[in-house]
Chains A and B, each alone.
Chain A
Amino acid sequence: MTDKTPTRAPFTRRAALATLGATGASLAVPGLLPGLGGTAQAQSGDPIKIGFQVHRTGIGAAYGRWYDRTSQAAVARINDMGGINGRPVELVSEDDGTDPKRGAEVLEKFANQSNCDVAFGTLFSHVVIGSAPRAAELKLPYFVVSEGHHVASGMLNRYTLQPGITDVKSQVIAMAPFVGDNLGKKVTMMFADFAFGHDHRDFFSEAIKEQGGKVIKMIAIPPTETSFTKYFPQIPQETEVLYHVMVGPAVLTFVKEMGEFFGPSRPEIFGYIDSLEAVSIDSPGLEFLEGTYFWEGNPRYAQTDQTEFDKAFREAVGVDDSGASITDPADVSTYAHMFGCWETLNVIKAGMEACNYQGPEDRQALIEAVEAMTEMPASMDHPQGDKLFNGKTHQVFGVQYISKVEDGMLKVVHTTSIEDGFYPDEVDYTTQPF
C-alpha cells in the first residue's frame, strides 16, 4: 500500500496475487464487482480479510495516516509469522471520511461486498458511535481503537470491542494519584468547553477528590477561541496545579500566551499530549512547556530503559527515537495512540487462533474468545506495556505514562499501575445475546 513496509512474507504476495486473480475473474461477473453487491463467500484457503475503517479524509486524516502506517506494519509482521491459522491476512482499507454515516456504510461494504471477516480500526468517537449499531445488525465483529469511554460505558453492543487501547476515563483516573501526590492538591482546570473537555472535567475532578485534592476553579474555554489572555487572570493565586486540556488550531497560541502570562513563576502544569500529538515539542513557541508534565499513552521519545518491544515496534513502523518518521524528522507521529492499532490486530490474531476461526460463521466464537481474554503481558504483541482485558465491558486496561518536558524532550517520570485506571464495571456485554 502507500506506506510500504520493508518486508513482506512471500506467501503474502502470492495471496495478494491470488486475490487479484479472483478480482480479475470477477470482471466477467458484474455482480461481483466492488460496489455492485457481490456476496461471494471466502474459502478456507483465502486470506483472512480485515476491513480497515480508516480516517483517510475528514478531520481525522492526520491520525488516519499513522493508523494506516502502523496497521500495515502490524499485518506485515503477522504475515511474516505465518498469518492467522495458516492463512495470510489482508487489510481492506476503506475511507470513513471521519463521518458516522459513511462509517456505517463502510461497515456494510466490509460485510456485503469485500467479504471481510471483521472490521477494525476507527478512531474518532462519533464515527464509532455511528457505526457500532450497524456492526451489530451485520453481526460483524468491530474492533475499535478510539479510546472513547463509549465502549465500556455500555452504550454500544456485543459486537464492538476495544482491546488495544485504554479508554479516556481510565486514563484520566490514573493521573489523579500522581498529580495529587507530586504536583499539588489545589487544581485549576482549563478545558475546551465541549464533550471532550467535559469528560476530563468530570472524571478528573472526581478522581482528584479521592486523592484528597480539589479542583478549585474550572475555566471553560469556548471552542472557537483563538486568544486566551482574558482567561489566564481567572486562575486563582493559590493554584498549585494547572490542568489543561485544550485542542484545536489555537493550542500553540494557548501555550505561548500561557508562557507570557506566567513568566518565570508558574504553578505546576499538567496536560494531555493529545493537545500536541504529531507536533514537535521543540517547536518555536513551546519553550514554555519546559518542566511541565504530560499524559502519554505511549512515550513518544525512546527512554533510557526502552523495552526491546518498543524498539522493534518503532523499527517496524519506521519511527525514530524522537517519535518522528525515519525519513523526515519533522513528521512527528501520533505515537501516543497508534500502538492501539498494532495491539488490536494482535488481539484479533490471538482471538482467531483461540477459536480456530475459519470464516464468518465463527464470528461469534471470535467475540467469545476475545471476551475470555484477561492478561496481555508486555510483548511484541503489546509493545506499549502490560494490559488487562475486561471481557464484560469489552475494554482493555493498561499502564499510562506521565512525562516531563526536559531539554525539549518528553521524559517519562512515572508509569501508573494498571489498577490506577480501574473503575467499577458499567456494563456486562457478555449477557447480551448475539
Chain B
Amino acid sequence: MLVYARLLSLWLAALIGLLPSVALAHASDQGFVLLLPTEAYILSGCLAVALTVLMSAVLPDAWTTRLFTSLRLGTVPDLHRLKTVTSCLGFAALVGLVWLGMTGPRDPLGNLLPLTIWTLWWAVFVVVQGCCGDLWSWISPFHGPHRVLLGPQARPLLRLPDRLGHWPAVAIFLAAMIFAFTDLAPDDPARLARVVAGYWLVTFAAMTLFGRNDWLHRGEPFTLLLTLFASLAPLQGRAGAWRFGLPGWCTLTLPSPSISLAVFCLILLGTGSFDGLNETFWWLARLGINPLEFPGRSAVVLPGILGLLGVNLLLIAIFAGCVWLGQQLAGVPVPFAAAFGRLALSILPIALGYHLAHYLGGVLVNSQYALAALSDPFARGDDLLGLGQFYVTTGFFNTRDTVRLLWLTQAGAIVSAHVLAVLMAHRAAIDLYGGGRRALRSQIPLSAFMIAYTLFGLWLLASPRGA
C-alpha cells in the first residue's frame, strides 16, 4: 500500500489528531519542533510545577485559602429572560448552520457548519468559556426553545433517577468522542448536519422527558463540561453579584461532586490526552503502523475506541490510586468518594490547558477558513465581509521563531494549568483533611501525579507525530 507516498514529506505538515479538521488541517511545524531545545523547556516546565508543589507545602494554610477568595465587584442585573431570547437565537443560528451543512458547499473547510462546530465552538468557545465564564447559557440552543415551546415551568414526564448521577453525561460524552475519533468523515457537512440535528432532537426529547435542567446538567455532556469549565473563570456572576478571584476560586465553591461527576471531570482530561497521544510515533508504533505511511482513519477505528476507553480507565485508576494513597498518608478518615470528588475538580484546569494546547495550531488555520466561509457562505464568489483576495496561510508553521512561539504558548498553557491544579488540589485538601501536615501528606501522591502529567503533556507536544 501507499506505493508512492513520497508526499509524506509533509509529515512536516501533518500533525493530525483523531478529532476532525480542527486538529487535522494544520501544522508544518513538527520539523522545527524537533530542532527546538524541547528537553530544556520540558525540564523547566516540570520544575515550575514542582516548585509550585513545594511552595504550596510551605505556604501557611491561611494563605492558600486566601488565594482562592473572591472580591465582590458589583451587582449582576437579572437578565434571566433575555437568556431565553438569546438561546432561541442560538437555536436559529444552529438551524441555519444545519441547513448550510445540508445544502451549502461540500468542502468541510468551506462550509460554516463543520467550521463552527469543530473550530469555533469546540476548539475556541470551550476555551473562551473557561476564561470568561458562562457564555454558553446565553447561546445554548437547548433551553430557550424548550422554555418557549413547553413553558418555563414545564414538568418532566419522568424523573431521571438520582442513582444515575452524571453517568448519562459520561456515556454520551464518550459516544460523541467516539464519533469524532472514529467516524470516517465527521467533518462532512451533510453527515455532520444529520448528527447535529439528531443530537438536538434527542436532547430536546430528553429535556422534555426528564426535565430541562436535570438533563442539561446530568445528561447533556456539553452543557455540563461548559458549565464546569466556566467555573474556572476569574470573574463570576454569583448570587446577584460579580465576584473576581484567582481562576478556579469558583470551582472550589461547587458542591462536592459525586463519583460520576468526578469521573466526568477525569474523562475530559483523559480524552484530550488520548487525542494527543494517538498522533505520536510512539502510539503508532504500538499499533504497528508506520507513522510515515499512515493509512487513514478507517484503519484505526478499533484502536481508536479501545485507546480512548483504555486511556480514560487508566487515568481514572491512577487518579483514584493517588487519592487513596493520599488518604492513607493523611491518616484522616475522610470518605473516599468525598476526596475523589473534590480533588477531581482540580483536574479541570489541566483538561482546559490541554484543550487549548491541542487545538491552538488548528484554530490558527481553520479560523481563517471560517472567516473566508463567513464572507462567502455559499461558495459562490460572494465577499460579504469585503476581504478582497484572501488566501489562507500556514506560514507561521514554517519559521523557527513562530513555531517556537507557538510551542511555548502551548507549553505555557499546560504548565500554568498544572500550577493552578496543584494549588486547587491543595486548597481542596485543606478542606478535606483539616489543613496542616495531614493535608500536605495527602497531597504527596497527587502532586507527584501532576508533575508526571506535566512531563507527559510536554512530551506529547515535543514528540514527533504521525497520524
Contacts and interface: CB of A to CB of B under 8 A. Distances in A.
Interface stretch (B25-33, B330-338, B408-416, B443-451): B25-33
B340 to A, nearest CB: 38
B34 A92 contact: no
B4 A150 contact: yes
B381 A168 contact: no
B16 A61 contact: yes
Given A150-B3, A249-B33, A330-B399, 15 more contacts: A1-B105, A13-B381, A59-B8, A61-B13, A62-B10, A92-B106, A99-B297, A100-B298, A101-B298, A149-B4, A150-B4, A194-B290, A327-B391, A330-B402, A331-B398
Interface stretch (B60-68, B107-115, B204-212): B107-115
Interface stretch (B47-55, B161-169, B186-194): B186-194
Given A35-B102, A329-B395, A6 B292 contact: no
A279 to B, nearest CB: 6
A56 B103 CA distance: 19
Contacts of A54: 107
Contact of B285 (A224, A247, A329): A224
A377 interface: no
Interface in B381-404: 381, 383, 387-396, 398-400, 402
Interface of A: 1-4, 6, 8, 12-13, 16-17, 20, 23-24, 26-27, 33-35, 54, 56-63, 65, 68-69, 92-95, 97-102, 105, 109, 114, 123-127, 129, 146-150, 167-168, 192, 194-196, 199, 223-224, 226, 245, 247-253, 256, 272, 274-280, 283-285, 318, 324-332, 334, 337
Interface residues of B, number: 83
A60 B15 CA distance: 10
Nearest to B190: A35
B293 A6 contact: no
B interface secondary structure, majority: loop
B153 interface: no
B296 A251 contact: no
Contacts of A101: 184, 296, 298
Contact of B4 (A148, A251, A328): A148
Q: Which 10 pairs show the lowest CB-CB distances between chains A and B?
A: A99-B296, A62-B13, A330-B395, A35-B190, A148-B4, A331-B395, A249-B30, A57-B24, A101-B298, A93-B107
A100 B295 contact: yes
Interface of B: 1-14, 16, 20-21, 24-26, 28, 30-35, 102-103, 105-110, 184-185, 187-191, 193-194, 281, 285, 290-299, 369, 372-373, 376, 378-381, 383, 387-396, 398-400, 402, 464-467
Contacts, number: 311
Contacts of B291: 223-224, 248
B34 A123 contact: no
B391 A325 contact: yes
Contact of B292 (A109, A248, A327): A248
7 contacts: A2-B107, A59-B8, A59-B11, A195-B3, A249-B33, A277-B9, A285-B400
A33 B2 CA distance: 34
Contact of A252 (B32, B110, B187, B298): B32
A251 B16 CA distance: 18
B27 to A, nearest CB: 8
